[in-house]
Structure 1
């Protein structure tokens, strides 16, 4: 991964394809990385999950994280990433079909940078992704503190 990459974390192949299509149609020029569940996302972002030598993988520019996944769900991934100094300030956008206020609140309380409801209409979703990209392109990304 590199600073011009986007990590999509979603257990649904159909939702993953929809998000990738929206990114492509919106004109975003970035490498797209994928994780099919929360465990895989944590392994990609934090490394050394399987007893490997410790490593610090490069972080993506932004993470698009599904909320509802079996096993390690999006909220658990968010909690874990916010607990680590290295990923505490990584921009994480929740993409979810849920419009439950309790889900939205829990994500913001846990440190999500934004919560976007997935849309079935590809044109609306593409425009949402384009606006998101524009915002995060012009917004100042907080720097990640140096390791001590």
Structure 2
């Protein structure tokens, strides 16, 4: 991903999510600045625009970051790969774009020594992530419940071991 891809990511995001989940250009630029090796886009020759994107970064085993909030730094002792967002435009769904993004980014994370993957799943995607070996983190406390509220009703914090 490059800074010049952000407009295409914003377009793809608008096609993939309801308005309350949309994040700003500043958010994407923040994550790109912090973790450029963990931010990816998918495109194809002959197709205008971004087909999909994946935003991730090293994280710790604590609470997930709040939706849409810029980070000043990443955790010093990150052991998780946090998959913040993976979206595919409707016209490219079913073509393996999401799988390719996930596989490429996870391989990069494992190569950098990260041991687990975590994410916040929207209610509509929980089954998808379950099929990929992620399991909901149980025993939610008030702080986690508050973080998940920004992602919509029935959002789940999920995790799995590497390799994928």
TM-score (normalised: structure 2): 0.31
TM-score (normalised: structure 1): 0.33
Higher relative contact order (CA 8 A, sep 6+): 1
